[in-house]
């Protein structure tokens, strides 16, 4: 075991210990887990408060620092599992550094008012549910953890015996750190995934090295702490989805496998990599556009036909699924800055709150204080904020008082360290922040040093925050919680990468979106199972440009987005075919078809096939408004780019869920006309490039469909009716 390259790459991120040929738990951990596995009569763990104490003891036995956990984790466990909202919790909140006290003295925040009555009079789970948790589910999870070392050893032994996956042979399957630019697959049993997620619940994964390797935090401490720090009903329902998953796997041992694949576009042909198209290849492509079906209502995950289901991803796999969410936006007005005439009342100060780190960014001459996580420096640098007319749209939401410079009191390290951990913000050394500093002055009020911040929100941003966060990716990770296991070993995606997961089962029903998200009970996934034990649920994670504004129409970023989608939609088995498609684009379509048949015959003979020849040819794409909504992209542009990518990837169809947004009312009409006239990928790409060029030069401000339809109308009087 100790000589295994795959195991050694992931070992520092696992809580178990390797000695010689065996993995094991330290003796104190074994003792604690055995006690928990025998139930509350033996372990005396029968409440959230005592459960957290038991978790803390296990963490100490593993030499894990208590400071690595979110500040209010213990309170979050108590709030969720215990049968009432303790009065002491209210009192603690009111007197927590004087922060909430000033809310009452000045203006009580909306969220606190909204949920206070519910929290006082209702428990988050019933007493009966809590009893079942401590008597049945928790002991089963402890037993699963006891067996984790043995599961891992069995996993590595079986990983060497798997001859192929899908239509490929000779690929490593073992659990390992699947680094950026390293194409490959990790195949995990569902039972092992259940044990790994139990580790997340017990907060047993070491955090010390994850940031340096661009990995998300995978422990559940922030998820629980957020219940106490700033209660939000969506957070409660996220936890309920995970608790339900544990209930299911505790009652019946899960059977089957889940695969996690990092796809990489590369210039050179390689069986592991996907051939990367050159910029000019898109304009010359003669590949026909695939069928395009528009659905104005419904959900991607409910689509019945087997297809690649698009996860509108963060570059960090999972995004904010295990925290408060990916992005929270507020405008802060700093009185000290106004008094020094650094900003005006109408301008305000923008702060982007994303979980972890507090600092300042110089932008257009104003200092922007905020919390940044899971966003790269370049994205923030390109944000375009228009302060014109801002004063008329501002309204007061509340007044808050913060100790030091932190916004989220649940992360004490933020108060100590104004600099970001290297994993969270990748600012190139050659481009340091200008004007990076902490606030230099503080007001002293009733003997408490505070920085008074008046919270102001422009109406359109408040709507975006309220309606868009919880985003699609977070919901998907909650209803298909086996996806969370990928956060253990999948670092952030580069522009030429995508992540495909096959077999992650859905366990929960839900309603709503964003703040209205609610867990609604058990979901029994009845999708078929493939030859290696994976449910035929294919989820592809691709991250779009964040808040691209007008730069999304620049040629460089058009290519970035279409290549990103192509990477996700492609089948690595067809890399040689893709290479031919892009290199032989001067050929006629008939000649190309003949050459492809020749390549298919050769590749089918060269590679062992585990599934029927042409199986992937039947799998299309199911997607929606990727890179729009929270990420701020142009829906019309993104729909066309995805269509191009799906067609070039030789997918037979693309089903597009518009979620009934107004911008896509003409989508079906436009796609029907284009398909009727048999446009190629190159034809549509060239039209997009022409439109984007005009948009970048300010020669047009209309959307792509309105720009295109007059041209189509004048070119063809037989065009479909246009309203």
Number of domains composing the chain: 1
More confident residue, 111 or 634: 634
Q: What is the mean pLDDT of the chain?
A: 74
Q: Do residues 374 and 355 make contact, with C-beta atoms less than 8 angstroms apart?
A: yes
Give me the domain span that covers residue 689.
278-331+464-479+537-601+613-708
- Residue 175 tokens read as 């659990």
Residue 592's pLDDT is what? Answer: 54
Global model pTM greater than 0.85: no
680 DSSP 8-state letter? B
Residue 326's pLDDT is what? Answer: 47
| 515 burial type by CB count under 10 A (0-12 exposed, 13-18 middle, 19+ buried) | middle
| 129 burial type by CB count under 10 A (0-12 exposed, 13-18 middle, 19+ buried) | middle
Residue 457 lies in a domain: no
CATH number of the domain to which 549 belongs: 3.40.220
Q: How far apart are CA 24 and CA 31, in angstroms?
A: 13
Q: Is the pLDDT of residue 504 over 90?
A: yes
Which tens digits make up the pLDDT trace of 352-392? Answer: 333 223 223 323 333 333 333 333 333 333 333 333 333 22
- Residue 556 tokens read as 């460089």
- Residue 386 tokens read as 């228009």
More confident residue, 119 or 76: 76
Q: Is the pLDDT of residue 604 over 50?
A: no
370 phi and psi, to 5 degrees? -170, -170
Average pLDDT over residues 87-108: 45
Q: Is the pLDDT of residue 552 over 80?
A: yes
Strand runs (DSSP E) across 438-493, as ranges? Answer: 443-445, 448-458
Residue 309 lies in a domain: yes
Q: How far apart are CA 179 and CA 328, in angstroms?
A: 29
135 DSSP 8-state letter? I
Q: Do residues 309 and 300 make contact, with C-beta atoms less than 8 angstroms apart?
A: yes
Residue 111 lies in a domain: no
The per-residue b/e assignment along 282-309, b for 16 or more CB within 10 angstroms, e otherwise, is bebbbbebbebebbeeebbbebeebbbb
Strand runs (DSSP E) across 2-54, as ranges? Answer: 17-19, 22-24
Average pLDDT over residues 605-609: 35
Which tens digits make up the pLDDT trace of 391-415? Answer: 222 332 333 333 333 333 333 333 2
- Residue 403 tokens read as 């100790």
Residue 692's pLDDT is what? Answer: 96
Residue 442 lies in a domain: no
Residue 568 lies in a domain: yes
Q: Is the pLDDT of residue 350 over 50?
A: no
Q: Is the pLDDT of residue 133 over 90?
A: yes
Q: Is the pLDDT of residue 420 over 60?
A: no
- Residue 425 tokens read as 């913000």
Residue 228 lies in a domain: no
Q: Is the pLDDT of residue 49 over 50?
A: yes
Residue 647's pLDDT is what? Answer: 96
Which tens digits make up the pLDDT trace of 692-705? Answer: 999 999 999 999 99
Q: Do residues 712 and 679 make contact, with C-beta atoms less than 8 angstroms apart?
A: no
Average pLDDT over residues 42-59: 95
297 phi and psi, to 5 degrees? -135, 165
Split at pLDDT 50, 70, 90, the class of 106 is very low
Which tens digits make up the pLDDT trace of 147-176? Answer: 999 999 999 998 877 655 544 555 789 999
Q: Is the pLDDT of residue 605 over 70?
A: no
| 91 burial type by CB count under 10 A (0-12 exposed, 13-18 middle, 19+ buried) | exposed
Which tens digits make up the pLDDT trace of 609-648? Answer: 344 333 456 899 999 999 998 788 999 999 999 999 999 9
More confident residue, 450 or 161: 161
Average pLDDT over residues 473-480: 94
Q: Is the pLDDT of residue 550 over 70?
A: yes
* Gyration radius of the chain's alpha carbons: 26
For 637-651, give the secondary structure using H, E and C: HHHHHHHHHHHHCCC
In angstroms, what CA-CA distances link 63 with 56, 142, 206?
A: 10, 19, 9
- Residue 169 tokens read as 């042979």
Residue 290's pLDDT is what? Answer: 96
Which tens digits make up the pLDDT trace of 112-128? Answer: 444 444 444 455 778 88
Q: Is the pLDDT of residue 76 over 60?
A: yes
Give the residue from 541, 533, 604 showing the smallest Cα distance to 569. Answer: 541
Residue 451's pLDDT is what? Answer: 36
User: CB neighbours (10 Å) of residue 395?
Assistant: 9
The residue whose two tokens read 């042979």 is 169
Residue 263 lies in a domain: no
Which tens digits make up the pLDDT trace of 291-313? Answer: 999 998 889 999 888 999 999 99
- Residue 225 tokens read as 């702490």
Residue 578's pLDDT is what? Answer: 82
Residue 388's pLDDT is what? Answer: 31
Q: How far apart are CA 460 and CA 469, in angstroms?
A: 14
Residues 6 or more apart whose Cβ sits within 8 Å of residue 455: 330, 331, 332, 333, 396, 397, 398, 399, 400
| 694 burial type by CB count under 10 A (0-12 exposed, 13-18 middle, 19+ buried) | middle
Residue 562 lies in a domain: yes
């Amino acid at each position: 075991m100790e000589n295994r390259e795959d195991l050694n790459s992931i070992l520092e991120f696992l809580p178990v210990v390797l000695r010689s040929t065996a993995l094991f738990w330290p003796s104190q951990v074994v003792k604690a887990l055995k006690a928990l596995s025998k139930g509350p009569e033996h372990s005396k763990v029968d409440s959230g408060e005592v459960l957290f104490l038991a978790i803390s003891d296990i963490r100490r036995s593993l030499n894990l620092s208590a400071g690595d956990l979110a500040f209010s984790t213990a309170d979050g466990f108590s709030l969720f599992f215990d049968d009432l909202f303790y009065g002491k919790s209210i009192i603690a909140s009111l007197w927590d550094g004087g922060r909430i006290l000033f809310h009452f003295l000045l203006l009580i925040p909306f969220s606190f008012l909204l949920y206070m009555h519910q929290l006082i009079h209702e428990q988050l789970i019933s007493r009966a549910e809590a009893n079942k948790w401590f008597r049945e589910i928790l002991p089963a999870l402890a037993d699963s953890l006891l067996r984790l070392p043995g599961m891992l050893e069995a996993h590595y032994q079986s990983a060497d015996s798997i001859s192929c996956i899908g239509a490929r042979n000779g690929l490593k399957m073992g659990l390992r750190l699947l680094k950026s630019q390293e194409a490959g697959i990790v195949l995990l049993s569902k039972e092992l995934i259940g044990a790994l997620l139990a580790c997340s619940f017990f907060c047993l994964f070491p955090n010390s090295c994850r940031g340096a390797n661009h990995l998300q935090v995978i422990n559940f401490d922030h998820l629980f702490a957020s219940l106490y720090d700033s209660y939000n009903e969506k957070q409660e329902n996220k936890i309920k989805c995970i608790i339900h998953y544990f209930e299911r796997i505790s009652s019946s041992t899960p059977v089957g496998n889940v695969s996690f694949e990092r796809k990489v576009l590369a210039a050179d042909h390689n069986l592991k990599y996907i051939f990367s198209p050159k910029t000019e290849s898109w304009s010359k492509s003669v590949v026909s556009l695939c069928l395009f079906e528009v659905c104005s209502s419904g959900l991607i995950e409910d689509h019945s036909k087997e297809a690649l289901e698009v996860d509108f991803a963060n570059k960090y796999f999972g995004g904010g699924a295990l925290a408060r969410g990916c992005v929270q936006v507020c405008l802060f007005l700093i009185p000290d800055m106004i008094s020094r005439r650094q900003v005006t009342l109408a301008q305000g100060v923008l702060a982007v709150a994303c979980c972890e780190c507090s600092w300042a960014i110089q932008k257009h001459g104003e200092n922007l204080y905020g919390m940044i996580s899971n966003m790269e420096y370049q994205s923030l640098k390109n944000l375009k904020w228009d302060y014109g007319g801002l004063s008329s749209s501002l309204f007061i939401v509340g007044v808050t008082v913060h100790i030091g410079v932190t916004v989220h009191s649940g992360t004490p390290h933020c108060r100590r360290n104004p600099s970001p951990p290297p994993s969270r913000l990748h600012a190139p050394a050659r481009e340091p922040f200008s004007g990076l500093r902490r606030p230099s002055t503080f007001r002293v009020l009733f003997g408490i040093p505070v920085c008074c911040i008046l919270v102001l929100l422009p109406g359109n941003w408040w709507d975006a925050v309220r309606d868009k966060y919880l985003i699609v990716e977070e919901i998907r990770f909650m209803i298909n919680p086996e996806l969370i296991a990928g956060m253990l070993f999948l670092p952030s995606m580069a522009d030429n990468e995508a992540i495909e997961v096959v077999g992650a089962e859905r366990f929960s029903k839900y309603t709503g979106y964003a703040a209205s998200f609610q867990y609604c009970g058990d979901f029994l996934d009845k999708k078929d199972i493939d030859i290696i034990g994976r449910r035929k649920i294919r989820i592809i994670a691709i991250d779009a440009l964040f808040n691209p504004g007008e730069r999304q129409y620049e040629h460089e970023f058009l290519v970035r987005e279409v290549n990103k989608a192509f990477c996700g939609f492609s089948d690595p088995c067809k890399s040689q075919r893709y290479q031919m498609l892009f290199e032989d684009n001067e050929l006629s379509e008939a000649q190309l078809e003949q050459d492809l048949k020749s390549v298919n015959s050769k590749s089918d003979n060269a590679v062992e096939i585990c599934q029927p020849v042409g199986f992937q040819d039947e799998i299309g794409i199911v997607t929606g408004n990727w890179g729009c909504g929270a990420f701020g992209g142009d829906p019309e542009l993104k729909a066309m780019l995805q269509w191009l990518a799906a067609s070039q990837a030789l997918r037979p169809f693309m089903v597009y869920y518009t979620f009934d947004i107004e911008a896509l009312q003409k989508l079906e009409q436009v796609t029907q006309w284009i398909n009727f006239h048999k446009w190629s990928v190159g034809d549509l790409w060239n039209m997009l490039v022409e439109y984007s060029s005009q948009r970048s030069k300010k020669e047009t401000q209309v959307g792509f469909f309105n720009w295109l339809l007059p041209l189509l109308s004048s070119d063809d009087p037989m065009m479909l009716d246009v309203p």
